[in-house]
Amino acid sequence: MAPSLDFTIALIPIAPFLAAFLAPWVHKFTGQYAGWILAIIPASVFVYLLNFIQLIASGSFVSTALEWVPSYGLNFSFFLDGLSLTFALLISGIGTIIVIYSGKYLKGHKHQGRFLAFILMFMGSMLGLVLADNMVVLFIFWELTSITSFLLIGFDHARQASRRAAIQALVVTGGGGLALLVGVILLQQVLGVWELSALRNYGQILQEQAIFPVILILFILAAFTKSAQFPFHFWLPNAMEAPTPVSAFLHSATMVKAGVYLLARMNPVLGANEIWTITLVAFGSITLLWGATWALRQSDMKQMLAQTTVASLGLLVILIGIGTDIAIAAMVIYLIAHALYKATLFLVAGIIDHGTGTREITELGGMMKLMPLTFIVAAVAAISMAGFPPAVGFFAKEEMYLALAQMEWHTIAVLIVLILGNAMMLVVGAAIAIKPFFGGLKATSIKPHDGSLALIIGPVIFGVAALSAGVFVKEFGDIFISPTASAIYNLEVENHLKWYLGMFLKPIILLSVLTWVIGGLLFWKFDEVRKILRRVDESFKWDFDIGFDWLMFGLIRFADKVTRIWHHGRLEIYMIVVFISLGVASILPLILTNSLPPVPDMPDLTFYEWGVFVMAVAGLVSVLLAKTRLVAIVSLGIQGFAVALIFLLFGAPDLAFTQFMVETLTVVILALVMTRLYLDKRDRRRFEDILRDGGLAVICGVGLMVLLMAVLQTPIDLRLSEFFAATSVPIAHGHNIVNVILVDYRGLDTFGEIAVVMAAGVSILALIRIRAGGPQTGIGAPKKSARKNITRKTTTRKKPAVKKQVSKAVAAKVATKVAVRAKAVEKNVSQKSAKTKAASKAKVVSKTKTVSKAKVASKPKTASKPKVAGKVKTKGKTKAKKGVAK
Amino acid sequence: MNTIIFRTIAPFLVAIMVVFSVFVLLRGHNEPGGGFIGGLIAASAIAIYGIAAGVSEVRKALKIDPLAIAGFGLFIAGLAGLLSLGAEAPFLTGLWTYFEIGNAKVALSSVLIFDIGVYLVVLGTISAIALALEENEEGE
């Protein structure tokens, strides 16, 4: 079983994407022949895949890997074994037909090129899904199929129903995809492999892990949502809003089988235990009966087929759940047989819809003479669906009954479910093949006519395939069933399918006969059964579809409520919450861990250091005493300059330099902001407000002070500083360590910071301009011709919205301040860490280490507290004033 | 605030500040200074000019929208980082070359380009905000 390496299989999923890229142009230049031309790509993929049949049938497999993220061991890897080959052939084969069919079916539609591109994109995603070896690659293609399916269901986007169906399908299958992602990651964490091909022998090890049930449930969830298993089945019938070729391709033959594929692929790893068997068989059975019953209730042919697809998916899941070699073989035969006949029946429904203008089975009849070819292909498909020999469907049914032919009570229960389900599906197949073609001719809006070559070629090919697979069942089994089943079962599965006379004499044939009899009886009373079911349906007030709506709207309402609580739009409360959190976050951990710093001794300061300290305090006091807002702002600047002086005195000229500039700009910008606010010059506030704002200021100030003191309690680790001091000149060619750190050692940090500065600038500008009624000059300014209109509009809008503008302006102001401050603080921190430690050593030679340390310790206490308190004060003022303005 | 003395002095002051800001930017690698502080100085210069001469005058003099300057700064900072990929070194690795012009040895480096990027981002963003705030509602 040594894999042969073949790089070209990685191209198989890529080719349809390239074709999708070209599709709109091909359609533009070739018009109605676009379908035939674009079908070349999937057809060549199909032919190319045929080359591998011999190799795969001999038990080998093909794989390839492109390096992707080596640090996580992720490769862009693909592999081809029996299971993926069967799926890939179905996808590319049916895909070829579908592309040809859509070329005709949507002829003249103005977005036909787009449609073909979507179909081809889907095909690429689906091929990637079944060929993926790496589980992350599998996940990506899994989600891509959900997205392309969304695009295709919502193709007719002008209709509300298709938009809703598209979103529903995306939510359900995309949600399942997330479960898959978590499952994949957990699986990798446990086993340490990303590759599916490597996983198959780890089943035993994995199933002994405690986390195994979680992984199992996640994978089952992903498969059930994708393959429309109960209780996620409701999205599939709704997806019939898509054009008929899409329904035939995605929602019967391929995409909905992705869940089945996943279960089959994971069978060696996750299978053969009680949870697996019971879950799969139980939910598969419910899905089978549910879908089959509801199929009988429908009269729209596409809906009937959609519901039987749900049923068939249930049947496939049951067979995987049973998991014996015969059950797996039966699953594979049924999978292929179903893809062939269901795609045919969908295409037939499309042809009838195209040829008569209706899909209602009750409005059709007697068209045998008018649509003879359509009738023949429909009949062949129905024969295969009903499981009559010689079609391949016969063997599918025989094998699944054989798999359950042990006389134990639980297998008998499943057997009964299978017989009932098959019988009901038989009725639907027969109804579509017989009802529109026999009886009296009924009047339709369009005169019934057969489809043209592009429409009918697909069903003919599928019919021939279904019949020849049945006739040459021995070869079919050797080539497809045995390698595929072996890949799923992880042991060689012998092919025992062949024609011989004795098979009709075995007792097992009685089960088939029983199926046909029940089906015949139901078909005889078809209309009555439908009426009864319809009445039952109407007596229920609730179904899963309504449940989905309820869930979605509930989610939106919930999000709305949460948003209203947190995003109330009251600036003062935002600020209070932010500052209380800041204060609490800085003090509480220290109290909880009992690591409050001791009160430091009185520092031994020189007279000029005292001078600076007094200056800072004076600035703070004048902020508190200031009569007008402008004076308060300028006084805040005094305090800031005092802090800058402290930086200068303790050997951090860079930091001081920046602090001077930041303080200046802060004062300038704050003053500018003040000119734009509709505020009184004076800041009057009530006593409670003073208490509240003052309290906040004290909490934050004390919090930061205590925090900084606590930081200084721990001994400073000088390793980094020493490294910078030692390497700055020889490696980074710079003597200014601070700058070297900013632009070289931590260049990426700085890069991120300037990006943030830029983003903050853009948002602040936007806030300012909302108020000014749009930009007048510079980026985003209206063109000269349009400018007049805009100014007129804003002037009319301005008057009633004064209140809003005030609050917006406040927001703008605060944003400005916060941004400038944030930058300053950021720089302060990054510079402080290196500068005060490293630079004082490297540059300021005169100071000994111990002295500089002691001084560093004294600095934050004097500096940080008044600064923060002052800041809070001014913010509090604007808040209070806003309240007054209101 | 907008006295005639201020208005007369402002252009000279602004010119000196801008030159000084470039000086601070270029000396940054070895002496106190650098792109961030240089950018702040230049932005202050532009803000002062805006107060003195009016915003439309500043925009005319700048020719380029300040936010575009900031964007360009971010762009060349990123570009400076990508340069090192050409030398098969990780993103943002500093590259250095030296030129002899007369007797002076001039250092050129990707780090300097990066610092110029920082300078332009800070200059552009802050002056964009300052100018927008200086504009009153009629757009002037």
Mutate to test the interface with B, among A661, A675, A676, A816 (most CBs of B within 10 A): A661
Minimum distance, in Å, between the CA of residue B91 and any CA atom of chain A: 8
pLDDT of residue A862: 38
Please report residues of A whose CB lies closer than 8 A to that of B130. 665, 668-669, 672
Beta strands in A169-259 (DSSP E): none
pLDDT at A456: 87
Residue B109 lies in a domain: no
Does residue B50 form part of some domain?
yes
Mean pLDDT confidence for A503-524 = 83
Q: Judging by DSSP bridges, how do beta strands A62-69 and A74-80 pair with one another? A: antiparallel
At A782 the pLDDT is: 52
Residue A504 binned pLDDT confidence (cut-offs 50, 70, 90): confident
Q: What local confidence, expressed as pLDDT, does residue A803 receive? A: 43
Computed over every residue of chain B, the mean pLDDT equals 87
In this model, does residue B19 exceed pLDDT 70? yes
Q: Which residue of B has its CA nearest to A769?
A: B132
Check residue A300 and report its DSSP letter: B
Task: Give the mean pLDDT of B45-56.
Answer: 89
Mutation target for A interface from B46, B113, B125: give the one with most A CBs within 10 A.
Answer: B125
Model pLDDT for residues A741-766, shown as the tens digit of each residue = 888 888 899 999 999 999 999 999 88
| B78 vs A: CB within 8 A | yes
Confidence of residue A700 (pLDDT cuts 50, 70, 90): very high
Which domain, by its residues, includes B13? 4-75+114-134
Q: Please tell me the predicted confidence (pLDDT) of residue A781.
A: 53
3-state secondary structure of A650: coil
The answer to whether residue B56 neighbours chain A at the CB level (below 8 Å) is: yes
Measure in Å the smallest separation between the Cα of B62 and chain A Cα atoms.
11
Cα–Cα distance measured from residue A126 to residue A147, given in angstroms and rounded to the nearest whole number: 11
Residue A867 has pLDDT above 80, yes or no: no
Q: Is residue B41 in a domain?
A: yes
Residue A852: is its pLDDT beyond 50?
Answer: no
Position A61 scores a pLDDT of: 83
* Residue range B75-102: mean pLDDT, rounded: 84
- How close B16 gets to chain A, by Cα (Å)? 16
What pLDDT is attached to residue A837? 42
pLDDT above 50 (res A882): no
The pLDDT assigned to A655 comes to 87
Instruction: Tell me: cis bond preceding A390? Omega within 30 of 0 counts.
Output: yes
Question: What is the number of domains present in chain B?
Answer: 1
Bridge pairing between strands B104-109 and B96-101: antiparallel
Neighbouring C-beta atoms of residue B60, cutoff 10 Å: 11
Chain A residues inside the 8 Å CB shell of B109 = 733
Assigned domain for B90 exists: no
Which residues of A, range 730-759, sit inside 8 Å of B by Cβ?
732-736, 738-740, 742-744, 747-748, 750-751, 754-755, 757-758
Whether omega for the bond prior to residue A653 falls within 30 degrees of 0, making it cis, is no
CA distance A444 to A438: 15
For residue A65, CA distances in Å to A4, A78, A199 come to 12, 6, 16
**Residue B134 pLDDT:** 84
DSSP sequence for A708-719? HHHHHHSPP--H
Quick: pLDDT tens for B116-140. Answer: 999 999 999 999 999 988 886 444 4
Mean pLDDT of A285-292: 92
- Among A89, A39, A631, residue whose Cα is nearest residue A335: A89
CB-CB under 8 Å, B47 with A757: no
**Is B8 inside a domain boundary?**
yes
Instruction: Select from A734, A750, A816 the Cβ nearest to the Cβ of B118.
Output: A750
- Asked whether residue B89 is assigned to any structural domain, the reply reads no
Structure tokens at A138: 């599998």
Predicted confidence (pLDDT) per residue in A259-284, tens digit = 999 999 999 888 888 889 999 999 99
Give B101's strand partners. B104
* Cβ neighbours of B116 in A, within 8 Å: none
Residue A854 clears pLDDT 50, i.e. is over it = no
The complex scores an ipTM of: 0.92
Q: With an 8 Å Cβ cutoff, are B111 and A732 in contact?
A: yes
Residues of B in contact with A768 (CB under 8 A): 129, 132-133
A238, A151 contact by CB (below 8 A) = no
Q: What is the pTM of this model?
A: 0.69
Mean pLDDT of A337-349: 90
Chain B nearest-CA distance from A776, in A, is 6
At residue A60, the 3 state secondary structure works out as: coil
For the ranges A307-321, A382-396, A666-680, B24-38, the lowest mean pLDDT is seen at A666-680
Q: What is the mean pLDDT of chain A?
A: 81
Q: Which two tokens stand for residue A840?
A: 């004082």
Q: Say yes or no for a CB contact (<8 Å) between A773 and B124.
A: no
Backbone angles phi, psi at A155, to 5 degrees: -55, -40
Asked, for residue B100, whether it belongs to a domain, the answer is no
Chains A and B: how many Cβ contacts under 8 Å? 158
Rg (CA), chain B: 17
Q: Is B97 on the interface with A (CB under 8 A)?
A: no
Asked whether the predicted pLDDT for residue A824 surpasses 80, the reply is no
Q: Average pLDDT for residues A549-573, to the nearest whole number?
A: 89
Q: Phi, psi at residue B104, to the nearest 5°? A: -85, 140
- Alpha helical stretches, state H, A192-324: 196-199, 203-207, 212-226, 235-238, 244-248, 257-270, 274-297, 301-322
Check B35 against A743: CB less than 8 A apart: yes
Which of chain B's residues have a Cβ under 8 Å away from the Cβ of A831? none
Tell me whether residues B111 and A768 touch, CB distance under 8 A.
no
The per-residue pLDDT for range A89-105, each reduced to its tens digit, is 999 999 999 999 988 88
In the three-class reduction of DSSP (H, G, I as helix; E, B as strand; rest coil), residue A73 is classed as coil
Which residue from B114, B122, B133 is facing A757, i.e. has the nearest CB? B122
* CA distances (Å), origin A357, targets A159, A424, A458: 18, 27, 21
d(CA A186, CA A633): 56
Residue A375 has pLDDT above 70, yes or no: yes
| pLDDT bucket at A541, cuts 50 / 70 / 90 | confident
Question: Is residue B91 scored above 50 in pLDDT?
Answer: yes
pLDDT at A444 exceeding the cut of 80: no
The predicted model gives A784-798 an average pLDDT of: 43
B121 touches chain A (CB under 8 A): yes
- Cβ burial of A57 (10 Å; 0-12, 13-18, 19+) is middle
Residue A407: per-residue pLDDT: 62
Interface of A with B in 612-671 (CB under 8 A): 653-654, 657-658, 661-662, 664-665, 668-669
- Flag whether B48 is in a domain: yes
- Is residue A507 over pLDDT 50? yes
**Binary contact (B130, A669; C-beta < 8 A):** yes
Span A140-150, mean pLDDT? 93
Rg over CA atoms, chain A: 37
> What are the tokens at A243?
């054009």
Distance of residue B117 Cα from the nearest chain A Cα, in angstroms = 9
